Structure 1
Amino acid sequence: MVQANRRSFLVAAGLLGLTAACGSNTGRGGSGSGTLEQWYHAYGEDGVHDAVDRYAAEYTAAKVNVQWNPGDYDSKVVTALQNSAVPDVFEAQVKVDWVRQKQVVPLDDLLGGTRDDFVKALLDSQTVDGQLYGIPQAIDTQVLFYRPSLLRAAGVTPPTTLPELVDAAKRLTGGGVRGLFAGNDAGVAVLTPPLLWSAGLDLLSPDGSAPGFDDPRAAAAFTAYRGLGDALLLGSPTDWSDPGAFVDGRVAMQWTGLWNLPKITAKHGDDVGVVPFPKFDDQGAVSVPVGAYSSMVNARSADVDAAKAFVKWLWVDKTDHQAEFATKFGAHLPARKSLTGATDGLATQVAGFVADSGRIASPARWSARANTALSDAVSRIVRQGADATTELKAAVEVARAEISRIGK
C-alpha cells in the first residue's frame, strides 16, 4: 500500500537502519505548560487516529495532545531530540546514539511485574547497556504467503529450507505467473537478515562486539538465494510491502507483512497459507523478522515523570487499549503474550511463529552505515552475480569500524 502505516518503520528504519507536521489537537502549550505532547508517525489504517485520540482524551492526570507526523518521521524525531523539549512522549525504535547522548530516559521501572508478559525479543530490541528505553506498542512481522492450490498443482510442499524455496519458486513459475515476489530489488532490503538467520548467523555477534556475518556460510546463503533467477518477479507496480502481486495472481508466493492479511484473504479466501522464512540447512533456523514502534520519553521534557506516568498508563496498564491498537486496525500482533487471544485464524498462527522464531530485524547497535554497506554488497551478489566472499569481506570491514565507533 502506498499510504504510511505501522509497517513503515520496517520498510525504512526497521530494515534499512535508520517536514512539516500536521495532526489533531496540536498547537497548544507544549512541554512545561501542564500539557504532554505525544507524537506518532502518519498511520494509514482506518480508525487508528480516532482510537489514539480517544486514549489521550481518557487520560485524566494530564492533558495530552496527539500530533500526527507525515513524511520523514524518523528524521523529524532525530532533530527534535537534539533541540527540543517537544515531544514529551513519542514512538520510535531506540538508537544507541540517543542513549549515548542522553536524549531518552530509561523506562525499566514502568514494567513492574508485567515484564515477563511482553515478548522478550521486543524488550531486548529496546534495551541498550542493560536498560530499557521503549515500551513496545504492537508487533509487526513478515511471513511467506503462498497459495496452497498452486503448490498442490505444481507438486510442491510449503518450503522449509532455502533450497526447497528455490526449487518451489522455479516449479511454480510459468503461464504468466512467477514463483516468488520479495520486492523490486529482488528482496535485498527485506530478506538480508532472514537469509543470515537461515544460515545460523546474524547482523551482529551475540554480544554485539563484532559483525555476525563474517563467516563463509553467509556467502553460501546469499549465493543460494541468487539461484532463484527468473523465478523472482521484478518490476511490479507495487513493492513487497503491498500485496498487489500476490492478490492479483502474478505470483504464487510473496514475502510481505502480516498487515496485508485482510486484503489477501478478502481476495483468496481460504486458499492462503503462511510459513516463516526457511532455514538454509540444519545448522540454521527458520525465522520471522519482528519489529515494533515503542513508546519513549524525551529526556528534555519539562516533566519527565509526568511523561513516564502517561506511558505506563497507556502501554502497561491499559491492556484493553493495547489489544485494540494491535488487532483492530489492520493485522498486527499484541506486544504482550497475555493478549494473543485477541487474534484469530492465520494471525494466531503467525503469533506462534513470532513466539518460536521471531528475530529483531534492526538491533539498536546496528548502524545505518553498516546496513548500507551490507545491503549494497548483497545487491551486487544477488542482482549482478558478484562474488559473495569478496563483497561480504568489504561489508564486514565497514561494520567492524561502525561497531568500534559505537563502542560497548
Structure 2
Amino acid sequence: MRKALSIITAATTLGVLALSGCSRASHEVSSGNGPVKITMWTHSAGNPGELAVYKQIIADFNASQSKYRVVEQNFPQGSYNDAITAAAAAHNLPCLLDMDGPIMPNWAWAGYLQPLDLPSDITAKLLPTAVGSYRGKVYSAGYWDAALAIFARKSVLTKNGIRIPTVEQPWTLAEFDAAVAKLQASGFRTPLDLGAADTGEWWPYAYSPMLQSSGGDLIDRSTMKSADGKLNGPDAVRFFTWFQQVFKKGWANNNGPVGNQNFIDGKVALSYTGVWNAQDALKKVGGDLLILPTVDFGKGPKIGGGSWQWGISATCDASEGARAYLKFSFQDKYLTRFADSQIVIPATQSAAAASKYFGPSGSLHQFAVLSQKFALARPATPGYPVISTSFEKAAKDIMSGADVQSTLDEAVKSIDADIKANGNYGQ
C-alpha cells in the first residue's frame, strides 16, 4: 500500500493548463427544491476497505442534514491523473477532490483550489504533515499519514552484537555503516534493502529526508527560489557520496523486488520501508520484528511525511456544503477506521489512541511515534513536480556511478530554470 507516492505528474499537467486560463464553472446545483448535490472524487476505486469508510462518512453526513447531498465518484489510482486533467481542461472539476500532499501547492498556484477554511480547532489537532499550507493559507488536510522505518530481526542484531537503536538514541551513520558491514560479513550477501528498485515519487519521499538529516535539502526553503547550495552543497555531496558507496560496496542493490519481500524471505537483514508493509512483516516475523528509527546522518533522523489529503476546488459553487462535509468527516471515529482498515497513521493523537494498531499497546504504535517526532513535508512550492523528477534522475545516476558534484549541479540547474521560467512561482 503506497498512499503517499502516486500522482505527482498530474501537477505538471495542471500547471500547464493554468497558463492557458480557467474560467469558473458552476456544476454543483440543486435539483428543484431538493438538496444541493456535491460531487466528490476519490482515487480509491479498487480499495474496498477505504471506500467502505468513505461510504459510511457520506451516508452519515447526508443523513445528518437535508441541505446538501454528497455523491462520490471513484477512480482507479492509475487513471485518477487523467480524470483530473480532463476535468481541469473542461473547467469541470468536482467540488471535493483528494490529492497527494506534495502536489497541492502546484494546484493552488494553478488556481484549481480554494483555501480550505476549516475551523482551526480541527486543523490544529492534525499531524503537521497532514495539513497542506501554501503562502500562509491551508488548502488541504488529510485523515492519515504514512511513515518509514528500518525493519530488522532482533535475533539477527543480537547474534551479531549490534546495538538496537531507539528513538532517543538512533544509530549514528558510523554505527549504521559498521552494522551493515558486519551483517555482510556474517553471510548476508546484500544486507540492506533501501527500496531502490522503486520509481517515481518514492525517491524524494524516501531519500530526501536522509539528505535533510545530512544538512542538505531539495531547495532553499527560506525563499523557495533556488536549490543552489542545498541540493549541491557540501552536505549534499557528502550524503550522495555515501549513497553511491552503499551500492558500490554491495550493501544494497536495485534489483528488486519492490516492497519488503527480501526482508520477509530473510535475504536482507535490514529493510528501509513503510508502514504499508508492516502487517505482512508481522505475520512472517512475529515478535522478532523490530521497527527501528532511521539513521541520524548528523542533524537527527528524518522521514518523509505528507500523504493523500482533501481539498475544495476553486470552481465549487457549494463550497459551504463541501466545507460542512469535510468538517463532519474529521471525527476521530472515522480517522481511526481509516487507520485500522488501511494500516495508515491516524492524523490525530486521540484517533491514534483508539486504534488497535497504533494505540499505546498496538503492534504498530512505533510508527505513530516516528511520524510525530521525525516526519517532514516535502517543499511547499508549485515547482515541486520538477524538483521531484530532477532529484530522482540525479539520485539514480549517482547510484549508477555518475560524478556526484556535477550530477547535483545539473539537477540544481533544472530546478532553478523551471522556477525562473515561472516567475519564481510568485514567491
TM-score by length of 1: 0.85
- Correspondent of 1:87 among 81, 88, 94: 94
Q: Which residue of structure 2 aligns with residue 77 of structure 1?
A: 84
Q: Which residue of structure 1 aligns with residue 19 of structure 2?
A: none
Q: Which residue of structure 1 aligns with residue 146 of structure 2?
A: 140
Contact 1:276 1:353 in 2 (8 A): yes
Q: Which residue of structure 1 aligns with residue 111 of structure 2?
A: 102
Q: Which residue of structure 2 aligns with residue 122 of structure 1?
A: 130
- 1:145 Cα shift? 1.1
Q: From the superposition, tell whether residues 222 and 367 of structure 1 become closer, same or farther in structure 2 (CA, over 3 Å).
A: same
SS of residue paired to 1:393:
helix
Alignment of 1:13 onto 2:8: yes
Structure 1 Cα separation of the partners of residues 418 and 104 of structure 2: 14
- 1:263 Cα shift? 0.9
SS of residue paired to 1:36:
strand
Structure 2 Cα separation of the partners of residues 222 and 319 of structure 1: 41
Q: Which residue of structure 2 aligns with residue 203 of structure 1?
A: 218
Q: How many residue pairs are counted as aligned between the two chains?
A: 379
Contact 2:147 2:370 in 1 (8 A): no
Q: From the superposition, tell whether residues 358 and 366 of structure 1 become closer, same or farther in structure 2 (CA, over 3 Å).
A: farther
Amino acid at match of 2:365: T
Contact 1:226 1:382 in 2 (8 A): yes
- 1:8 Cα shift? 4.1
SS of residue paired to 1:42:
strand
Contact 2:129 2:306 in 1 (8 A): no
- 1:52 Cα shift? 1.4
Amino acid at match of 1:398: S
SS of residue paired to 1:301:
coil
What pairs with 1:355-394 in structure 2 (closer than 5 Å)? Answer: 355-361=372-378, 363-384=380-401, 386-394=402-410
SS of residue paired to 1:230:
coil
Structure 2 Cα separation of the partners of residues 201 and 132 of structure 1: 26
Q: From the superposition, tell whether residues 303 and 46 of structure 1 become closer, same or farther in structure 2 (CA, over 3 Å).
A: closer
SS of residue paired to 2:414:
helix
- 1:218 Cα shift? 0.3
- Correspondent of 2:316 among 301, 305, 319: 301
Structure 1 Cα separation of the partners of residues 42 and 293 of structure 2: 29
SS of residue paired to 2:195:
coil
Structure 2 Cα separation of the partners of residues 308 and 184 of structure 1: 40
Moved more, 188-197 or 199-208: 188-197
Q: Which residue of structure 2 aligns with residue 26 of structure 1?
A: none
Structure 2 Cα separation of the partners of residues 186 and 73 of structure 1: 20
- Correspondent of 1:221 among 239, 243, 263: 239
Alignment of 1:255 onto 2:266: no
What pairs with 1:306-345 in structure 2 (closer than 5 Å)? Answer: 306-315=321-330, 318-325=331-338, 327-341=339-353, 342=355, 343-344=358-359, 345=362
Structure 2 Cα separation of the partners of residues 143 and 266 of structure 1: 17
RMSD of aligned alpha carbons: 2.5
Q: Which residue of structure 1 aligns with residue 175 of structure 2?
A: 164
Structure 2 Cα separation of the partners of residues 219 and 365 of structure 1: 26
Contiguous gaps of at least 5 residues in structure 2 = 13-26, 31-35, 166-170
Contiguous gaps of at least 5 residues in structure 1 = 19-29
